[in-house]
C-alpha cells in the first residue's frame, strides 16, 4: 500500500484507540500502565497526566495514591530512561532489559570513575540505609554516599542511583517538590511475575503491539531498547495473532480490530511532553510533521506538551500556575476551526478537573 493522507489518518485513529486516549474504559491507574507496558516518566507530573489522560474521571491525587501504595513505581527501565511501571511487572522487565543498559553504560561508568568495585560499594551503602522501610530522597541519599567516602558530584550520583535500580535494589515512589523518594524494592514491592527470557520477550511484544499498534518492528525495538534481533524474537512469538499492512516498505503490525472503518473523532487532546502517543515510536511521521519537530524540544532536552487534533500533532501548549489557577497557552501550527477551538477548550477544562484547579485559556 502507498502512503496517502488517508493511510496516516487510519494509523493515527487506531493508535488513539489502542493507546486508550480515545474511548478508554479503564477504571484504575494500574490498568493503564499494565496495558501500555510502561509510561515514560522523566517528567514526573507529565507521566501522571499521561495516566490520567487515559483514565476518565481521574485526578492527580488518585494517580499518586497508586504510586504511594506501591501499585505503581518509577524506575529506569526501557532504554535506560525513567518510566512508571506496574510493581507486579518490574522484576521480569529488569531481568530482560537491565543487562543491556548496564553494558551500554560501561564507557560512561569509566568516564565517571565508576568501576565495578565502586558501584558495588555504592549499592551496599544505598541498600543498607534504605533497609527496614526507610524512605529517603535523592538529596539525602547522595549526601550519605559522600559521607561514606563515595563522591557523588555531577553525574556520578545519578548513575549510582540508576545502577542500584537496574540491579533491582531500589525504586522510586512519590515525588516531593521535584525530589524523588527512593525505597528498597524487595521490602516495598511484593514478588511479582518471574519468567524466562523468551517468555519475557513475548510478553513485552504482546504489551507493545496491543497498546501501540499499528507499529513496526523498528518502533518496538526503539521503544524497548532491545536489539532488532531480540525485538524480532518477541514479535515472532505473537505474529500469528497479528495482522500486517505494508506502507511504503514499512510493515505495520497490530491486533485485529473491528473499529478501523469508523471515522476519526473530532476530539482534541492535550498530551504531556513525553507521552507514548508521540514518543512510543521510532518513526513518528504518521502523527507528526517532521518539519515541526524542532518546536517540541526545549534547550534542556525536555519535550514540550503537544496538542493533538485529528490524530496529528497540531501545536504545543504549556501551563503556568498563578494564584490557585492554571493558565494554559498554546502555539498552533495552523489556525483552529470554531469546532476545534471548542474541543480544545473542553480538553483544557478536563485537565483542570484532573488537577482540581480552575483553568484559564490564554
Angle at 87 between CA 278 and CA 123, to 5 degrees: 100
pLDDT tens digits along 108-160: 999 999 999 999 999 999 999 999 989 999 999 999 999 999 999 999 999 99
pLDDT of residue 22: 93
pLDDT higher than threshold 60 for residue 333: yes
pLDDT of residue 261: 55
pLDDT higher than threshold 50 for residue 2: no
Ramachandran class of 105: left when φ > 0, alpha when ψ lies in -120 to 50, beta otherwise: alpha
More confident residue, 259 or 166: 166
| Contact in structure between 41 and 84 (CB atoms under 8 Å) | yes
Angle at 272 between CA 270 and CA 276, to 5 degrees: 105
Angle at 43 between CA 204 and CA 220, to 5 degrees: 25
Q: Where are the domains of the chain?
A: 268-361
Give the list of residues 6+ apart from residue 21 with CB closer than 8 angstroms, or none: 53, 54, 269, 271, 277, 308
Give the list of residues 6+ apart from residue 213 with CB closer than 8 angstroms, or none: 14, 15, 18, 242, 252, 253, 254, 255
pLDDT tens digits along 16-41: 999 999 999 999 999 999 999 999 99
Segment among 22-36, 156-170, 187-201, 291-305 with least mean pLDDT: 291-305
Amino acid at each position: 500500500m502507498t502512503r496517502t493522507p488517508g493511510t496516516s489518518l487510519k494509523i493515527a485513529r487506531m493508535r488513539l484507540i489502542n493507546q486508550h486516549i480515545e474511548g478508554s474504559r479503564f477504571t484504575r491507574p494500574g490498568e493503564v500502565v499494565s496495558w501500555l507496558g510502561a509510561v515514560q516518566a522523566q517528567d514526573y507530573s507529565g507521566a501522571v497526566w499521561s495516566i490520567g489522560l487515559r483514565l476518565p474521571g481521574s485526578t492527580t491525587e488518585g494517580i499518586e495514591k497508586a504510586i504511594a501504595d506501591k501499585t505503581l513505581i518509577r524506575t529506569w527501565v526501557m532504554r535506560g530512561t525513567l518510566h512508571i511501571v506496574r510493581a507486579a511487572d518490574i522484576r521480569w522487565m529488569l531481568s530482560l532489559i537491565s543487562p543491556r543498559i548496564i553494558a551500554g553504560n560501561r564507557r560512561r561508568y569509566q568516564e565517571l570513575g565508576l568501576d565495578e568495585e565502586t558501584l558495588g560499594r555504592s549499592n551496599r551503602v544505598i541498600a543498607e540505609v534504605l533497609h527496614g522501610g526507610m524512605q529517603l530522597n535523592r538529596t539525602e541519599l547522595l549526601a550519605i554516599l559522600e559521607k561514606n567516602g563515595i563522591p557523588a558530584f555531577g553525574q556520578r550520583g545519578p548513575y549510582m542511583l540508576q545502577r542500584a535500580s537496574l540491579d533491582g535494589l531500589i525504586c522510586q515512589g512519590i515525588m516531593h517538590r521535584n525530589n524523588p523518594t527512593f525505597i528498597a524494592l524487595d521490602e516495598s514491592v511484593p514478588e511479582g511475575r518471574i519468567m524466562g527470557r523468551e517468555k519475557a520477550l513475548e510478553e513485552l511484544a504482546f504489551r507493545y503491539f496491543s497498546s501501540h499498534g499499528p507499529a513496526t518492528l523498528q518502533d518496538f525495538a526503539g521503544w524497548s531498547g532491545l536489539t532488532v534481533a531480540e525485538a524480532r524474537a518477541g514479535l515472532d512469538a505473537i505474529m500469528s495473532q497479528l495482522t500486517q499492512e505494508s506502507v511504503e516498505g514499512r510493515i505495520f503490525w497490530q491486533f485485529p480490530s473491528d473499529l478501523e472503518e469508523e471515522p476519526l473523532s473530532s476530539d482534541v487532546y492535550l498530551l504531556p511532553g513525553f507521552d507514548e502517543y508521540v514518543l512510543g515510536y521510532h518513526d513518528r511521521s504518521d502523527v507528526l510533521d517532521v518539519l515541526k519537530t524542532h518546536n517540541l524540544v526545549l534547550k534542556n532536552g525536555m519535550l514540550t506538551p503537544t496538542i493533538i487534533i485529528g490524530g496529528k500533532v497540531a501545536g504545543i501548549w504549556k501551563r503556568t500556575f498563578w494564584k490557585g489557577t492554571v493558565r494554559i497557552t498554546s502555539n498552533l501550527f495552523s489556525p483552529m476551526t470554531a469546532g476545534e477551538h471548542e474541543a480544545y477548550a473542553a480538553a483544557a477544562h478536563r485537565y483542570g478537573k484532573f488537577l482540581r484547579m480552575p483553568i484559564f485559556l490564554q
